[in-house]
Homo-oligomer: A and B are copies of this chain.
Amino acid sequence: MKVVQLPAASKYKIEVCFTPALLPLYNTENTIAVVIDIFRATSSICYGIENGATAIIPVSKVEECAAYHGSECLLAAERDGEVVAGFDFGNSPFAYTAEKVAGKTIVLTTTNGTHAIQLSRSAEKIVIGSFFNLTALSKWLAEQEQHILLVCAGWKNKFNLEDTIFAGAVVDKLQSAGYIPDDASLAALDLWSQAKGDLRGYMKKSSHSERLKKLGIEKDIDFCLNVDLTTAIPVLDGDKLVKL
């Protein structure tokens, strides 16, 4: 019988940063930052890269996105849950199907997710996580032998449930690899353990679900909670997110 040897990762930390506002408190040297914005930016990024988008360029401001008008790029801009007027699309995952994005480069700005990516730039490497690529991402992380910082995009710099629950799912997957958790990782893990039996039911109480429900995009929420729909790991290469 072949014994799978887990990496001796016990000297490596796993930490959860609950909102981008807390990022300055973390040492990101020799650290892989995983940016998480479940509803919906990082879910859509994972889906778009899986579906053959050549690259996704995350930018912080709507104006930066608008500056690409006239280029061959698809322009995606979302603020407060809605597509910004004058843009091709926002961050609904249903806009990131193979039919729409294969072979294309997308410029994307969102309320929280792209902000979190920009603020994580001091990290050794930045990858994108969502329930879509949970297992593939966790497996890859365990092989890297580096510190891990799970960066929750939150909502306008405040804590949110869905990003934290996903962070807990990653901590859970990596438990056997012996990382040293901080208190935020332990909390995320405990919340995930409560949520995982009925993820959709649990998420119903999150404030962001309420917000998106009011916008009539409940099907996006439901879709973003699919686990292991994809295997691609988007990684930041210069200014572009590409397939690892």
Residues of A with Cβ closer than 8 Å to B?
18-19, 21-22, 25, 155-161, 164, 182-184, 186-187, 190-191, 194, 205-208
Which chain B positions have C-beta within 8 A of A155? 183
Task: Tell whether A182 pairs with B194 under 8 Å between CB atoms, given A25-B21, A164-B187.
Answer: no
Which chain B positions have C-beta within 8 A of A190? 190-191, 194
Copies of this chain, tallied across the complex:
2
Which chain B positions have C-beta within 8 A of A161? 183, 186-187
15 A-B pairs (CB sep. < 8 Å): A18-B18, A21-B21, A21-B25, A22-B159, A25-B156, A158-B182, A158-B184, A159-B183, A161-B183, A182-B207, A183-B206, A186-B206, A187-B191, A190-B190, A190-B194
By beta carbon, the residue of chain B nearest A155 is B183
Complex CA gap A208/B164 in Å reads: 21
Complex CA gap A156/B159 in Å reads: 18
Complex CA gap A190/B165 in Å reads: 12
Which chain B positions have C-beta within 8 A of A182? 158-159, 207
